[in-house]
Structure 1
Amino acid sequence: MPGSALSVNTFPPLVSLHPSESLLSLAQQLSLQLTDQVPDQGFYLQQDKDGLALVCADQPRIHPVRVDFAAGALAHRRQFGGGRGQAIAKACGLKPGVNPRVLDATLGLAGDAFVLASLGCRVLGIERQPWVAALVQDALHRAIAVPDLAWLEQRLQLRVGDATSRMAELAGDFAPQVVYLDPMFPHSAKTAEVKKEMRFFRELVGADADSDLLLQQALDLVSHRVVVKRPRKAPFLAGREPSLSLEGKANRFDIYTLRKLDKTLD
């Protein structure tokens, strides 16, 4: 993509001519660079009437990337995605009376975390890129103002940091029964169905080259099971064979079971 700077661990600036108090607070909380100058090239964060978004300055045809729990694909999935019959729900052990505490150690744009929270789980998400966390935090702030989504404030929490080295520290007293891992992996040329804006988002975030370290961290921390989302034909994470796998058309959930999930009060 000519002109657009794409490098792992790049922090896009947050652009606002008249930042609100909440935006100032978010920038301070996540140590984001706040400016009133729109860059000529590369990516930047900008807040508009629909919320915070990642924008590409020199590629206007690329749609802004934002998180929206109240509308669009995530809202449709919450209503029509299959509920507890979804593979992710089965993999994480959800069933009548069982709503495990889930630590999503590779939160990203929080799509899977939102699904699990909407099905009754308490979810703690860890995201190592502050600007990605900003997109999710902004979406949470907007969602809890919607009456039908007010429950998100209690069920989905966010912490910023690198889970590969600080998973237990970042989890604190959350005591996860399930750790969920969805490491970013390089896409092959065959994955043309991925939207252009999401391909560039993935390039900016970068692949999780140290993802093998996540599995052992998760197994050391979790009480019941670790669930790893992988491309269907990808090798096992860290070469470690799971207890069982659930396969879909494009993805596979590898499940590492330590204990059986019993009925919980959470």
Structure 2
Amino acid sequence: MIESLVIYIAPEIKEPDRGFALNLKQALDLESTSDNEPSDSKRAVFEYADGILCLHLLLDNKPTSLSFDFDDGEVGYRARRVSKSNELVARALGVKPNYRPKVLDATAGMGRDSLIMAMLGCNVVMYERQVAIHALLANALERFKLSGHNQQVAERLFLAQNDSKEFVKGAEGFDVIYLDPMFPERKKSALVKKEMRLFKMLAGEDKDADELLLGALQSPVPRIVVKRPKGAPVLANKKPSHEIVAKKFRYDVYLNS
């Protein structure tokens, strides 16, 4: 797991990139480094260039980089085709023709599920506690808003750096709390895809996932949705009101009284 974060600011970097990099350095109290490649597997290096924030890490002793993007790859493909009829998360949230719940995504991560929920018409507040992940997500969200590709969707997304464990009990003004804790390690030998391995290097394991659900159930929010791998045990031994099962995962839905 990553234990130290530093930032590389290239000598030739120009404004406004230099200003952003310096502000990030100050905000996160980062040390500077003269090289954009990490020196060991427990060290990660931020670099900001051309409006994109990325994090350089070592994976299997090979340099690699991680950045988030709402427009590219699998998430962009899925978002462009999202509809109430083809997204199980719409059923899990309780989306109806004339009803779009306000959602607290308490484990925002890469922001992908939040984007889909916003595409469905929901206003979504994203909480992310891990510093590096929050910074990467904030940059992706800013680029998404500046792109103007889907301004209505962008305006439904809000991000805060909060530890949800400290906030969910008192969450008010939401219709749904959405939890997607880190999936347990696979017992099979197949490697988790590269992106998720990098993500786990930053976030570690969600050892307090049970506590997070119990806190959510103490809140006044009427609906709690937990995304789990298919076949995984329920969190905190709490049986859901019902579940919605997909091929590789399921949604445990708790109707909170």
| TM-score higher than 0.5 | yes
The correspondence of residues 20-59 of structure 1 with structure 2, limited to 5 A, is 20-29=18-27, 31-38=28-35, 39-42=38-41, 43-49=44-50, 51-57=52-58
Matching residue of 1:220: 218
Greater Cα shift, 12-21 or 181-190: 12-21
Note the alpha carbon deviations across 1:152-204, whole angstroms, 9 max, x for none: 442111111211123356x5xx6111000011133214272631242132133
- Report the residue type matching 1:243 in the other structure: S
Q: CA deviation at 1:231?
A: 0.7
The correspondence of residues 86-101 of structure 1 with structure 2, limited to 5 A, is 86-101=87-102
Matching residue of 2:131: 130
**Shift in alpha-carbon separation, 1:50–1:177, aligned structure 2, 3 A:** same
C-alpha separation in 2, matches of 1:145 and 1:122: 18
Long gaps (5+) in structure 1: 1-5, 260-266
Three-state SS of the structure 2 residue aligned to 1:13 is strand
Q: Is the CA contact 1:143–1:152 (under 8 Å) kept in the aligned structure 2? A: no
**Shift in alpha-carbon separation, 1:58–1:190, aligned structure 2, 3 A:** closer
Matching residue of 2:233: 235
Q: Is the CA contact 1:183–1:229 (under 8 Å) kept in the aligned structure 2? A: yes
**Shift in alpha-carbon separation, 1:191–1:233, aligned structure 2, 3 A:** farther
| TM norm structure 2 | 0.86
Matching residue of 1:196: 194
Equivalent in 202, 207, 210 of residue 208 of structure 2:
210
Q: Is the CA contact 2:107–2:128 (under 8 Å) kept in the aligned structure 1? A: yes
CA RMSD of superposed structures (Å): 2.4
Q: Is the CA contact 2:58–2:64 (under 8 Å) kept in the aligned structure 1? A: no
Matching residue of 1:155: 156
Three-state SS of the structure 1 residue aligned to 2:79 is helix
| TM norm structure 1 | 0.83
C-alpha separation in 2, matches of 1:119 and 1:148: 16
Percent pairwise identity? 33
Note the alpha carbon deviations across 1:41-65, whole angstroms, 9 max, x for none: 2322222347112222576756422
**Shift in alpha-carbon separation, 1:175–1:101, aligned structure 2, 3 A:** same
Three-state SS of the structure 1 residue aligned to 2:101 is coil
Greater Cα shift, 107-116 or 180-189: 180-189
Is 2:105 aligned against 1:112? no
Structure 1 segments of 4+ aligned residues over 6 angstroms from their partners: none
**Shift in alpha-carbon separation, 1:34–1:77, aligned structure 2, 3 A:** farther
C-alpha separation in 1, matches of 2:149 and 2:198: 32
Q: Is the CA contact 2:176–2:224 (under 8 Å) kept in the aligned structure 1? A: yes
Long gaps (5+) in structure 2: none
- Report the residue type matching 2:34 in the other structure: Q
Three-state SS of the structure 2 residue aligned to 1:112 is helix
C-alpha separation in 2, matches of 1:78 and 1:65: 20
**Shift in alpha-carbon separation, 1:60–1:193, aligned structure 2, 3 A:** closer
C-alpha separation in 2, matches of 1:152 and 1:20: 29
Matching residue of 1:3: none
C-alpha separation in 2, matches of 1:59 and 1:47: 24
Greater Cα shift, 77-86 or 133-142: 77-86
**Shift in alpha-carbon separation, 1:57–1:48, aligned structure 2, 3 A:** farther
Where relative contact order (Cα < 8 A, 6+ residues apart) is larger, the structure is: 1
